[in-house]
Chains A and B, each alone.
Chain A
Amino acid sequence: MSNRDTLASEPSKTAGALARHWANEEIVALRPGPGRLQSAWRALSKNKLTLAGCIIALIYILLGLFGPVLAPHDYARQDLMATFLKPGSPGHLLGTDNYGRDILSRLVVAIRVSLSIGFGITAISMIVGTLAGAIAGYYRGWADTIISGIIELTWGFPLILIAVILTGAFGPGLKAIVLAVGLINWAGFARIVRAEVISLREREFVQAAHAIGVSDGRILARHILPNCLAPALVMASNYVALAIIVEAGLSFLGMGAQPPLPSLGTMIAEGKNYMLLDHWVSTIPGVTIVIIVLALNLLGDGLRDILDPRLRRA
């Protein structure tokens, strides 16, 4: 991430490459202010796949927020006289499952569970990780030693393994998953923010702010952290997808959301025994999770291209 200056000073770069490099910098407009948002939006509207990912994610968020309120049925109400109704049956838009529960009503609640875990924990770990990374990178010293140690410990550590071990401690339920994701993911944010801050604190504009007596807190908040936003946002969209997959996977194994609370994972697991005749019980939640994960991945890739032109290649 620190190659911005080396790129400019590298003699082997042609004038054309340099011009393009500066032009890119102009587009991104790394300075804080409305210009950056505007240009990001302009770039987003040009990049169709990213826009699609963004819109799909928004639709899911709306479904998760308002779906359970507007749901036609109680998600837990069983009706053994009306099991395995096909999608499109009167009163049951997406059909019913093996207990005659309305799949649409269950689906929107499951989306709410997924997204609360995905977005909720990612938001918290992004805030904690950014603060930790900023402190470690800006002040260095013993704080950096401790934070870097934790980062190194958790980096590359499988989330699912920790979630399963914590399930052993807390018993099955969402608590273990929330804790596992929270314990691991903040370090990912801390890792990239720390690296950015270390390279940024030597830059001229930070030195200049320091020289005219701007306080450390203000330098971090106004000059350094806004420049760390891009990689953190890209990471966030991937982490949301990861958290959703882990929650669904553990719920699929019966270690996550406990009945009657529906989760995309439990819905797939319950429907998998009826795949041959009544596949929709499983395929509807299955497709639901594939779409949101794909959308978040597209969003992440697109954000990286838009926000960080240094990584945009070919």
Chain B
Amino acid sequence: MNNKIKDMIFEFSQAYGPPGREEGIRSSIRQRVEGLCDEITVDQSGNLIAIKHATERKSGRLMVSTHMDEVCLLCSKVLDSGFLRVEPVGFDPKLLPSQKVTVHTKGGEKLRGVVGMLAPHLQTEETKSKISDYDDLFVDVSMHDIGKFSVGDFITFSSEPFESKPFVFAKTIDNRGCCIASVVALEYLQNLRHSFDYYAVFSSREEIGAFGARTATSLIQPDLSIAMDVTFGNIDIPGHPKVELGKGPVIAKGPVLTKRVSERLLSCGKNNGIATQLEVTPSRTGTDADQIQLEGFPVGLISIPLSYMHNTFEKINTEDVKETGRLLALFTSELRQEFLSIQPEEEGE
């Protein structure tokens, strides 16, 4: 399983999918979930929804949302001298100098670009002591006909994934790692009974505000939902519990998240011998869960620990991906209608 997960990370991380342009990753995921579910649809927002019907008398709808889009750059100006100016979508400019990128042109080509950095010989004391922000950065595309480029072209990072067991290093594991956990859950569900229709949503446009998850929720009207995303692993964040790679899925607690869902995820892990970790999200979670909550549905959040989020190389432990998928499948299988009947108290009438 871990080897298969590694292969999927290699494949998914290279698939094209900036916010609102998720066609590449959508087709990769589609190929993996075909045969594991009963229906596959793509909605107006570009969400891919894989539905696996309940195998027992239907008790409700469970939605699991994992975003599939990636951080990227956008071309904001084309210079005749063979360079592009760029604007970011969630990307740290410090990682860019001397980076190979791929420009996705309106003609459908994938063209190489290089983010240049002045050689140290030509730097001055002044230029040495500052970091290049998007006003100074440029993409060298002089290896191609400049007429092929236009404002609005999406630019993704080019980094070759590799494995150093049990870790995989690749771009865009945020959030393709969770997409894979969702596929893994569907695989486990093949051998489990479940009384909820299971909606695996691979959502669009999370990196610009999780709009995909919002519209999917509105469409599906789930009785219960789980958002899956990555979280900061192996780093000390003042005031937060330290989450570590290789120690299992992370269950979040916070105002956005429905308390009994978080508790049930934790107890499900405990009962099935799946190690879990805890994190707190005292305000917004910064994931699909925020938008699901705004639609008014109960929601829980499972995160996979990851190092170096939004870097050109992110790091994940394949065991965590597997265990997250297993937890999700067992949670689904153990879910009964009674869990829904705990409704908020009503007064009057």
Whether chain B is bound by chain A comes out as no
